[in-house]
Amino acid sequence: MAYQVTQSDLEAIALGGAFLGTGGGGDPYIGKLMARQAIAEHGPVTVIAADEVADDTLCVPVFMMGAPTVMLEKLPSGDEILKALAELETFLGKKAGALICVEAGGLNSTIPFMVAAATGLPLIDGDGMGRAFPELQMVTFTMHGIASSPMVVADDKGNSALMSTISNLWTERLARVVAVQMGGAALVAAFPMNGADMKKALLHGTMTTIRDIGNTILSERKASRHPGAALRAMTGGAHLFTGRVVDVQRATEGGFARGKLTLRGIDDFAGQEFLVHFQNEFLLAETATGAPICMTPDLICALDADMGLPVTTEQMRYGMTVEFSAIPADPQWHTPAGLELAGPKYFGYDHEFRPFTTGERA
């Protein structure tokens, strides 16, 4: 069922996106500001269920691509992504009738609201990941044979590139280096698809889930409760561990923010040490001895242990206490095709995928 999103919903959407963004998907504060300004100027955004979209409607995902570390210091103006969308429409000779959110994330699930407000297009209730992943081809759209190209990458300076590629992996390779040259991050309109294909390939309901998660975070905090337990109850999640960050290794390389956190367990997990590896997103949580406790494509979600707010990879600092939860990924990600796209082996981790466990409790 369709509903309206106004400025007052954006706080929850940015928080919920950041939680499901598993450390990536961009900073929630920036995304919220961008969407808020656009809604203030153009009015509320209509979120519609996938089933409400006609089969021949052109549906276009819009998103930012690049290292979140860069996005923090290089704010998009909003014009770039509208330009990317317009160039894609010109190339296709058809106007978009609905927008799609490519992933859950603080920035990438709020940017589509900005584009929707500015264009007057509805935003479909769903996404292509149900979480955030670092690479462009890691979407259910790929599993359903939807090509990422033609695709337009645009920057803040006025440059753009329209890609036509033989596979979604090739789009990722070419667009990633272009995004790096464009300053480390770029705005993208890609995966154009008709309504019929969208209904098959989309993970339905994600935008509503994001909003509900965000509202839970807000209401639990208002009631002076840490939202972790309530969020796990909503999502079928588990408490992996709570720990204090004792080391952050971080590098922006190849257009990604890569690194590793070391955490010392506290409370129930005192005496244990944990490692969390990331490439834009948290991808693998291990014990200090290298035994995996949660791995991609399952979600590794971080909340500040004191404040109860989502923590992105680039916000991680020495001394923070963080509560890590695991949430099972959409079942499509557990299929052989899903694991090939975004399983631990793809990222170079020498583990066969297994469902998550939790840290041992004292």
Query: Three-class SS of residue 59?
Result: strand
CB burial string 62-97: b at 16+ within 10 A, e below: bbbbbbbbbbbebebebebbbbbbbbbbeeeeeebb
- Least distance (Å) between residue 80 CB and its own copies: 12
| Nearest CB to its own copies, comparing residues 253 and 360 | 253
Cβ pair 160, 83 in contact under 8 A = yes
Backbone angles phi, psi at 280, to 5 degrees: 60, -55
- The token pair that represents 323 in the structure block: 């509560």
Residue 328, preceding peptide bond in cis (omega within 30° of 0): no
Q: How far is the CB of 64 from its own copies (least distance, A)?
A: 18
Q: CB-wise, 82 or 198, nearer to its own copies?
A: 82
Binding site for its own copies (CB under 8 A): 87, 91, 157-166, 170, 173-174, 177-178, 180-182
Closest contact distance (angstroms) between CB of 181 and its own copies is 5
Contact predicate 325/233, CB 8 Å:
no
* Cis ω for the linkage preceding 297 (within 30 of 0): yes
Of 157 and 222, CB closest to its own copies: 157
Which 8-state DSSP code applies to residue 101?
A: E
Q: Return the number of other C-beta atoms located less than 10 Å from residue 334's C-beta.
A: 16
Give the nearer residue to its own copies in terms of CB position, either 173 or 334. Answer: 173
Read off the tokens for 319. Answer: 């001394």
Which is closer to its own copies, CB of 4 or CB of 181? 181
Q: For residue 71, give the 3-state DSSP assignment.
A: helix
CB nearer its own copies, residue 30 or residue 182: 182
CB of 158 to its own copies, least distance (A): 4
CB 115 within 8 A of CB 188: no
Cβ 191 to its own copies shortest distance, Å: 16
Nearer to its own copies, 45 or 174 (CB): 174
- Collapsed DSSP state (helix, strand, coil) of residue 260: strand
Provide the minimum distance between the beta carbon of 313 and its own copies in the complex, in angstroms, as a whole number: 25
Q: How far is the CB of 168 from its own copies (least distance, A)?
A: 12
CB 96 within 8 A of CB 87: no
